[in-house]
Chains A and B, each alone.
Chain A
Amino acid sequence: MRFLKQAMVLLIVMSTLPVMAADEIVVYSARNEQLIKPLFDAYTAETGTPIKFITDKEGPLLEKLKAEGANTPADLLITVDAGNLWLAAKEGVLAQVNSKALKTNIPAHLRDPDNRWFGLSVRARTIVYSTARVKPSQLSTYEALGDTKWKGRLCLRTSKKVYNQSLVAMMIARLGEAKTEKVVTSWVANLATDPFPDDTKLMEAIAAGQCDVGIVNTYYYGRLKQKQPEAPIALFWPNQKDRGVHVNVSGAGVTAHAKHREAAVKFLEWLSSKKAQNLFADENLEYPANPKIKPHASVAAWGKFKQDTINVSKAGSLQAQAVMLMDRAGYK
């Protein structure tokens, strides 16, 4: 009887051993499965480290991490938008990572000043215009979209989308709150129609002639052009003479209670390396965060541009201010 008990205890202990010993990584991802699965497969093929993951929206994932606390199985959080990464860091679910490789590969403005998260791909939010009714020489800056010459010709996506909240937050950081509010108010005065629910609808409206200019993330433009190469729209890089184009990131951070911290850091370093950067960015027509890596040929064809090098974490710390500013300006 006693022997049986001992044997059972031994069996139970042994059955947990391989789980603890295996160098697997558990990832919570707000980035779509079809965008991250190829990366995981490539990493597992290269290193033998299995990767488990779940995908969800960023809000539920953050709440899950907070609720699980020290018991979380997650080692790495992957999410989009610097505002979301900033919030995860502020809520204390991400741990500092001091890695030379990450600091070398990822420019300072694309990662947390305290190194709790790192941008892995760059998405530029820029001006899109109708090639039928607008000459690029008529365009200059985000602010200039408030000129009266664009009255009834501007289309914007809803201010509820975090990409626009980040854009306005960065403008507050650069221009100050009063100036930014004037700019946003002048945009609202120029709107051709109510704000759109997504960037694609906005570009379709420009192509159909409802409006002439708008602001979109470049990869939506890339996707639309893949489907409709003849669509009469093109991208314009604004503010090239001053601060540069507003950029945001999708990125990742190691969780505060990671059970496989070392493996997770290694994986994060690999994600910033040459091998992974193209896999990470190209699938979604984004720009690699590592400046040494060239973007996908069809992305590179949109031309080189100067990006705003203010730290993207500002998108988080100024987000509440930005939302309130847009409410006051009547930007729905």
Chain B
Amino acid sequence: MATRSRRPGAKAALLPVLLTGALALAACSGGGSSSAPASGGGGGAGSKTLVIDTSFDLKTADPGRTYEPTGLIVGKAAYETLLTFEGSDVTKPVPALAESFELSKDGKTLTLKLRKDATFADGSPVTADDVVFSLNRVRDMKGTPSFLLDGVEVAKTDDTTITLTSAKANAALPYILPNPALGILNSKVAKEHGATADPNDKAEQYLNSASAGSGPYTIESFNVSSQVVLRANAKYWGQAKPAYDKVVIRNVEAATQKLNISRGDSQVALNLSGDQVAGITGDLQVTRTASANVIFLLANRDPSVSKVTSDPKFAEAVRKGVDYAGLLELAGEGSVQAPGVIPSMLLGALPPEAAAGRDVEGAKAALKESGLVNPTVKLEYPSELTVNGLSFQPLAERIQANLKEVGITVDLVPAPVTTALDNYRNGKEELGLWYWGPDYPDPSDYLSFLPGKLVGLRAGWKAGADKELEAAGDKAAAETGEDARKQAYTDIQTKLNASGPFIPLIQPGQNIVTASSVTGLKFNPVWTVDVAGLGVK
């Protein structure tokens, strides 16, 4: 008698096995997805199509509402600003649509002379009225970037002169103006499509389908989740004409970005981690630069949140207990240690030699002085967040191991970003691992770390907690001279490192991989990559 081949239950029994396989496959696939570009992909420099792969952080193409990294790349290509930065140097704003600018001695008035030869993509000239309309629109629409121009009055003095007046000294303004969010719109076109320069402004829909700027590229199509296609502006007024006829910016996960660029499906990959670029071979070019993001630890100063971390000696023990070199090893090439909260490329950054070093004995001594015996603290961090391809998870685990040697037990409390942000923003984290990217490349943005200010409060550091430091902050904000500002901000950071609740850790590297055919790549901390600056070999 023949036996039955399989029992009915056998299929069900196999299901978990298949699911295991799926789990393993999921791990190996990296979860990436890549959609082919509309043009058919693979368009190398020869066909004058450039394909850029990046993990999208994109909400809109309306410059007045843009504040996300991918949006700034698009904005920089399609719109121009009054001032700009050359290449990677964000310490010196240079004229763009303006031909010159001057900040008054009291730092309250910025006067800009407008170029006469600049034109929009439709051929009409860029006028002072367009400038006033565009900047007022950003400020009054109350979109994400409107804070950049808070309290700034924009006025047209004559057809080629614009004045920006602030109530208080605002030496940061020339560093704020290059932000692509402050790109100048063709006001006539924008108004025709619903732009009213107030919260009821309805031009976003139009600006998500076409562009109304004077930049070297125009927006051909825009999809917030898959790809943005830029077309060269045939009537571009500037000297440097766009090198590519078409630029496709695609939403691709980091692991897939690496595959795509390795097999020639794309020419630029923006989000590879240090570990991922380590395996890059062939004739691809890898640009490794420190990003402007500073990853830091905060030890909450509020005794009601933690009796342990509120002791300044605890923060000292952590500062001395962390193995910075070990963290840099995790972050990969291109990363640098952050000596202070202000990143290395900004005015007022501390020199690398001012960075903290590991001193386990010193850390133990500081802990002993605090009177804390084998303290246990919770370290909260966003579990799925990556900064420049670097995940917070291994960093937190390394810090945990480092502090264990000092005698501090760290319980890791990873949470999804939205959950973790709640505790962080409400100043409820005992020990937190976060990062800060500059809103604009000026040290005044980092006054937020002082007591009673945005980030200070997140560390339970209330106003009045360190009056000397707060006074130094007020003085720095009022300074206008470059040297005086530089000195003021380095002094603030030195004091912040000595007594503050923040422990600056590292600036992860920004690794950009380009095909050998692509030239002119420069990482810029504000807009990551200037598409118009990319050329063909």
Do the two chains bind? no
